[in-house]
Amino acid sequence: MIDSILWTTEIATGIIWQDYQHKELLEVINTLREKVSTEGNDDSSTKELLDFLIFYTGDHFGIEEGYMDLLKYPEAEHHKGQHKEFLKNIEALKNLSSFSVEIKTDALFKDLARWFYKHISKTDQRFGVFLQANGIR
Ligand SMILES: [Fe+2]
Ligand SMILES: [Fe+2]
């Protein structure tokens, strides 16, 4: 099984609520991957966790996008596009039963966690600089 991708200060944006939520989201992704690998995705607690991940991610993206609209962030369109793509991909996890082979499950989560890490370390950090410049913490 792949190693968990954990939050580190390297991907901090310096925005308190954003860093807190990124940490939580990465933790949920890691926990979910472990559960799917060991128990499959038919387990009811796995389904609940997946629903929670989708809800929490949507909520998190919504908060970021709210600030983008409020502050007229110039890179909003590009950033929102990345959010949309990620949400589409985690929604796809709901159909994971067709991915019965553990390796496929693992690869899928690896992609998700890596994508999310990259999004935080590039796109969100850039946005964090903008937020700080606008007095948001
Ligand atoms: Fe984010
Ligand atoms: Fe973002």
Q: What is the CATH number of the domain that holds 127?
A: 1.20.120.50
Within a domain: residue 62? yes
Could you tell me the pTM of the whole model? 0.89
**63-99 pLDDT tens trace:** 999 999 999 999 999 999 999 999 998 887 777 654 4
3-class SS letters over the chain:
CCCCCCCCHHHCCCCHHHHHHHHHHHHHHHHHHHHHHHHCCCCHHHHHHHHHHHHHHHHHHHHHHHHHHHCCCCCHHHHHHHHHHHHHHHHHHHHHHHCCCHHHHHHHHHHHHHHHHHHHHHHHHHHHHHHHHCCCC
**34-46 pLDDT tens trace:** 887 777 666 778 7
Within a domain: residue 3? no
Centre of ligand 1 from the C-alpha of residue 101, in Å: 30
pLDDT of residue 24: 95
Within a domain: residue 91? yes
Centre of ligand 2 from the C-alpha of residue 128, in Å: 10
User: How many domains does the chain fold into?
Assistant: 1
Q: Which domain holds residue 46?
A: 9-133
Centre of ligand 2 from the C-alpha of residue 106, in Å: 24
Over 70: is that where the pLDDT of 2 sits?
A: no
Within a domain: residue 47? yes
Centre of ligand 1 from the C-alpha of residue 37, in Å: 26
Centre of ligand 1 from the C-alpha of residue 25, in Å: 9
**12-63 pLDDT tens trace:** 999 999 999 999 999 998 888 888 777 766 677 877 888 899 999 999 999 9
Within a domain: residue 104? yes
Centre of ligand 2 from the C-alpha of residue 65, in Å: 8
Centre of ligand 2 from the C-alpha of residue 76, in Å: 10
pLDDT of residue 96: 62
Within a domain: residue 107? yes
Within a domain: residue 2? no
Q: If pLDDT is split at 50, 70 and 90, which confidence band does 101 have?
A: very low
Within a domain: residue 1? no
